[in-house]
Amino acid sequence: MILIDNLTKTYGDLTALDSLCLQVKEGEIYCLLGANGAGKTTTINLLLGFIKPTSGSAFINDINVVEQPKLTKNYLAYIPENLMLYPSLTAVENLDYFSGIANKKFNKEELEAFLTEAGLQTSAFHKSVSKYSKGMRQKVGIAIALAKDAKVLLLDEPTSGLDPKASNEFGQLLQKLRQKGVATLMATHDLFRAKEVATTIGVMKDGQLKHQWSVDELSLKELEDSYLETMSYNSL
């Protein structure tokens, strides 16, 4: 579970995040939309403990991210736009390495089973990931989350640059994780994919959460209209 309570981050005069409150429960996928500079990555970086908030708090499975950042890592998996893997290693070797960091040890068959569950084709398991497409790399990221048994998944524009088929596959993998009870927060510019996968959609602007809907509350057209209207409104 993710709980964000009045989280604020300022850089000098700039308020990158302004009293953000939101919650992502087990089995929910929360898609955070917003133009460049809205504060989406700042939110994710605060949850990851990469940066410290100016005020407010955030919790991963009831653990305070600021007070116990290392402990929260046990529950978290993170997939950024460009997942960092060791290029000279294969998918199995990368998965073995990253599982080890999370204090999990698996045999070859178990590692391969995670990659299969993440939808990676068997023929790629023992090839260097330097030859992988972006979609294949994202699948390794999902396999890492599965192997780690992550309870919370943080995604920063994971489908950016994926072709529609790969993006669709990625969405289906998120649904699988959702069925396992994973709480997912995904920053994205992809309104279509957000409407496809989310349980809740939030729209940020100037560091503030301007709208939040349950996904069933609105059509894709209504989401697009509301998004564009929010973006065109000049708050200055």
Ligand X SMILES: Nc1ncnc2c1ncn2[C@@H]1O[C@H](COP(=O)(O)OP(=O)(O)OP(=O)(O)O)[C@@H](O)[C@H]1O
Please answer whether residues 91 and 129 qualify as being in contact, where contact means their C-beta atoms are separated by less than 8 angstroms: yes
Which of 175, 186, 180, 176 has its CA nearest to residue 153? 186
Site string for ligand X, 17-46 (x = CB under 6 A): -----------------x-xxxxxxx----
The span from the CA of 36 to the CA of 41, in Å, is 10
Distance of alpha carbon 129 from alpha carbon 110, whole angstroms: 19
Distance in Å, CB of 140 to ligand X, minimum: 23
Shortest reach from residue 14's CB to ligand X, in Å: 6
69/202 Cα distance (integer angstroms): 25
CB of 82: closest distance to ligand X in angstroms?
13
User: Rounded to whole angstroms, how far apart are CA atoms 98 and 100?
Assistant: 5
Q: Are 55 and 29 in contact (CB under 8 A)?
A: no
Binding-site member from 2, 7, 16, 136 for ligand X (CB under 6 A): 16
Count interface residues toward ligand X (CB under 6 A): 11
Among candidate residues 143, 120, 134, the one with its CA nearest the CA of residue 167: 134
Q: Which stretch binds ligand X (CB under 6 A): 9-17, 19-27, 122-130, 136-144?
A: 9-17
- Residue type, position 192, single letter: F
Q: Which is nearer to ligand X, 38 or 115 (CB)?
A: 38
The smaller minimum CB distance to ligand X, of residues 41 and 72, is found at 41
> Which residue's CB is nearer to ligand X, number 16 or number 144?
16
Identity of the residue, 124 or 194, whose beta carbon is nearer to ligand X in the bound complex:
194
In whole angstroms, give the CA distance from residue 54 to residue 175. Answer: 34
Amino acid letter at 69? Answer: P
Among residues 20, 40, 8, which one has the least CA distance to residue 187?
Answer: 40
Closer to ligand X by Cβ: residue 42 or 159: 42
If the CB atoms of residues 90 and 138 are measured against ligand X, the closer one turns out to be: 138
The reply on whether position 158 binds ligand X by CB under 6 A is: no
Give min distance, CB of 127 to ligand X, in A.
31
Q: Is residue 14 a contact residue for ligand X (CB under 6 A)?
A: yes
Which structure tokens are listed for 76?
């978290």
Q: Does 184 bind ligand X (CB under 6 A)?
A: no
Burial class (CB in 10 A: 0-12, 13-18, 19+), 236: exposed
Identity of the residue, 36 or 103, whose beta carbon is nearer to ligand X in the bound complex = 36
Q: Residues interacting with ligand X, by CB under 6 A? A: 11, 14, 16, 34, 36-42
